[in-house]
């Protein structure tokens, strides 16, 4: 793998490339997941795709500071990057899936397909996102002070030692204001309006062991975007590849 930087949508964007011989795949991680934390997944996906993993603005090695961290700003980043890559598949996890949905509504022609991994379906007038803000706030503050993997284990009890160590090392790069803006946006941004405008092929990957997407949510998404094909990873929590990597790979690739 190698990291590289590009100037897109007015800021410096950092991406990690895991070379493969397949179609370009651009991974947009979740709310507190710098690109490096997806390395163990990207290495396997490179058997099927040419994989690029984005550090979303305000995270990892991408530009941070006094920036716009709204869903619209992040989706504009994704459009600008996709324009350079030649119609990649966009694979977004959680917040990253919401970014992909909004970006595809803005300019669908720059994407070939969407893979939406457990996107939060909260929004105006809908049930809240099941995770609590305190979980994010407390873990980020701990990382900013400097914490060991043992301290981070309390927030990620089921992860491997290596995964917890990476989170303890990199979580401090997640700018607090960026995370708070994104979390608040889970409850104020309406992705369902976006979904109803999409015609791109959509693969929806659902964590069967989590509460983020329920059966009625799947039905609504498939009604709004009838081209959606749903794959459920039955025993996985919201961080699907962390809980069941093989099940995740099967849901994404059909292999």
**DSSP string of 11-69?**
EEEEEEEE--SSSEEEEE--TT--GGGGHHHHHHHTTTSEEEEEE-TTSTTS--SS---
The pLDDT of 21-28, averaged and rounded, is 96
Going along the chain from its start, the domains and CATH numbers come out as: 2-130+187-253 (3.40.50.1820)
Backbone angles phi, psi at 30, to 5 degrees: -80, -170
Query: Could you tell me which of 188, 75, 177, 190 has the C-alpha nearest to residue 136?
Result: 177
Q: How many whole angstroms separate alpha carbon 51 and alpha carbon 44?
A: 10
pLDDT at 254 over 90: no
pLDDT digits (tens, 9 = 90+) for 106-126: 999 999 999 999 999 999 999
The pLDDT of 43-47, averaged and rounded, is 98
Structure tokens that stand for 80 in this block: 């600008």
The pLDDT of 180-205, averaged and rounded, is 98
């Amino acid at each position: 793998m190698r990291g590289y930087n590009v100037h897109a949508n007015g800021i410096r964007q950092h991406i990690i490339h895991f070379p493969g011989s397949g179609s370009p795949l651009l991974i947009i991680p979740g709310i507190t997941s710098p690109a490096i934390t997806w390395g163990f997944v990207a290495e396997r996906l490179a058997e099927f795709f040419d994989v690029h993993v984005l550090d979303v603005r305000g995270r990892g090695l991408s530009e941070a500071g006094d920036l716009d961290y709204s869903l619209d700003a992040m989706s504009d980043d994704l459009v600008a990057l996709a324009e350079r890559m030649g119609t990649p598949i966009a694979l977004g996890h959680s917040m990253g899936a919401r970014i992909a949905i909004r970006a595809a509504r803005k300019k669908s022609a720059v994407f070939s397909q969407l893979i939406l991994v457990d996107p939060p379906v909260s929004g105006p007038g809908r049930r809240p996102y099941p995770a609590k803000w305190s979980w994010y706030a407390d873990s980020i503050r701990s990382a900013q002070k400097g914490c060991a993997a043992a301290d981070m284990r309390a927030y990620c009890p089921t992860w491997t030692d290596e995964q917890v160590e990476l989170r303890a090392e990199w979580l401090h790069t997640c700018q607090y204001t960026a995370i708070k803006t994104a979390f608040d946006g889970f409850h104020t941004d309406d992705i369902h309006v976006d979904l109803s405008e999409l015609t791109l092929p959509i693969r929806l990957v659902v964590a069967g062991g989590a509460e983020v997407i329920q059966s009625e949510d799947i039905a609504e998404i498939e009604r709004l975007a009838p081209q959606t094909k749903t794959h459920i990873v039955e025993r996985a929590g919201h961080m699907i590849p962390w809980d069941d990597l093989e099940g995740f790979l099967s849901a994404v690739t059909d292999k």
